[in-house]
Amino acid sequence: MWESEIDGKKLTFHLAGINNQNFIMRDEETGTWWQQVSGEAIHGPLKGKRLTPVYNDELTFALWKRENRQGRVLKPDDRVKEKYEAADWEEQYAKLRVVTPVDPNDKLPPRALIAGLVVNGKAVAYPLAALEKQRLVLHGVGSGGGVAPIFIVLGDDNKSVRAFERTVDGRTLEFFVKAKTSPIQLTDAETATTWDFTGKAVSGPLAGKQLKKIFALKDYWFDWKIYHPDTMVYTHGELPPQSKP
C-alpha cells in the first residue's frame, strides 16, 4: 500500500500489466510506470522516484473482524463477479510455473510462502512453515551497532503475521506466547505484562503501551529474493539468521 501523492502532486493509478506476478501501475498524470512490490517508478518521466509506503496488514477476514467490530467491508460488485479470483486461488497459483530460473540448491522452494521484513536496511525472510512450528520468533536484525531487537508472530489463524520492535521505553523485552489463550496473547519475561496480537499491552505494569509495528510482506520466496537479493533466510531453531552467508 502506497501514498498516491509524490512531490506534492496527487497521482491516479491504473493497472498496466503484470510482471513476475506483480502489478505494474501507470499513473494518468505523467504516464510513468510503477512497480507494485517496491513502489518504484521504473519507466517514464518519474523514473527512480519511490512512493511513500503506508503500513498495512494482510489478515484473514475472521481475525480482522474480531479486531474491528465496527469495520466496513467493500461489497462485491455483481456486475464484475466473473472477474474475481476463485476461492481456491492460492492453491491454483501455487501450481503455476515461475518465470525465474530455479536453483536446485536454493534454500527454499520457489513458491514457499515467507514473511519478509526489512529493518535498518537488512532484509530477512521467515518461512511460514517455520512460523507455524514456533509461532513467535525473537530476533535481532542488523549488524554491528545497528541491530534492532524485533519479534515476528503468527496469529492463531495460522495465516496472519505481524512483526514488532521489542524495545519499550529504552528496555528490550523478551516475548513469549501465552499457553492456551484464544485469541492469542503474549507476555514479556521482564514485567509479565500481557499483550494482544495488535502489539498493545492489555494488562500488567505496561498496560496501555503500544509496540512499534514493522511491515511484514507475505510473499512467495522466488519473488521476494528478486527484489531483496541479499536477504537472509530464517531457519527453524537457528539464530541469528543475519550471521549466515
Strand, helix or coil for residue 151:
strand
With beta carbons less than 8 A apart as the criterion, state whether 175 and 151 touch: yes
Number of alpha carbons in the 13 Å side-chain half-sphere of residue 94 = 7
For 174, residues 6+ apart whose C-beta sits below 8 A from its C-beta are: 138, 166, 188, 189, 190
Using DSSP's 3-state secondary structure scheme, residue 184 falls into coil
**Burial group, residue 222, by CB count within 10 angstroms (0-12, 13-18, 19+):** buried
- In this predicted structure, what is the pLDDT of residue 80? 85
Provide the edge-to-edge strand list for the sheet that holds 113-119: 217-220, 113-119, 122-127, 232-233
pLDDT of residue 141: 81
Calpha distance 55→226 (Å, rounded): 22
Contact (Cβ atoms closer than 8 angstroms) between residue 188 and residue 173: yes
Q: Which domains are present in the chain? A: 5-43 (no CATH), 61-93 (no CATH), 113-243 (2.102.10.10)
C-alpha cell at 165: 520492535
46: Cα separation from own chain's centroid: 26
Cβ neighbors of 91 (< 8 A, separation 6 or more) are: none
Own/partner pairs, 85-93, CB within 8 angstroms, 24+ separation: 93/21
- Cite the beta strand spans of 22-130 per DSSP E: 22-27, 33-35, 41-43, 113-119, 122-127
What pLDDT tens digit does each residue of the chain (245 aa) get? 899 999 899 999 998 888 777 789 999 999 999 988 889 999 999 999 999 988 888 898 899 999 998 888 888 888 888 878 777 777 777 777 777 777 778 889 888 999 999 998 899 999 999 999 999 999 888 765 567 899 999 999 999 999 999 999 999 999 999 998 889 999 999 999 999 999 999 999 999 999 999 999 999 998 899 889 999 999 866 544 343 32
pLDDT at 14: 92
